Structure 1
Amino acid sequence: MCDHGHGNGGHGGCASHAQTFDYGGTGMEYHMVNYIDKDKVVVLNESVDGSGVKVFKAWDNRIDRTDYVESDVDPELLFNIPFTGHVKITGITLIGDLDESHPSDLRIFKDREIMSFSDVANAKPDQEMKLKQDDSGQIDYPLIAAKFSNVHHLTLYFPTNFGDDVTRIFYIGLRGDFQHNFREKAVIATYESRPMADDHKAEIPDAAHHHIC
Structure 2
Amino acid sequence: MVYKVLKSVMFCSFLSIVVILGACTENDDSGSSRGELRFLNVIADEPRVDFSLDEDLITSSVSFLEATQYYRVDAMRYDFVVNQAGTFSELLRDSNTIGKDKRYTFIACGPSDDTGSIFMLDNNVDSTDDRANLRFVNAVTSRLKVDAYVIPEKGPIPTVAAQSDIGSKGVTEYINGFPGNYRLEFRNSLNDNLVARSEWVNIKNGQVLSVILAGGEEGYSVAVIVENE
Would you call these one fold, judging by a TM-score over 0.5?
no
Instruction: Say which one has the larger Rg.
Output: 1
TM-score, with length taken from structure 1? 0.25
Higher relative contact order (CA 8 A, sep 6+): 1
Q: Give the structure with the larger strand fraction.
A: 2
Identify, as 1 or 2, the structure richer in helix. Answer: 1
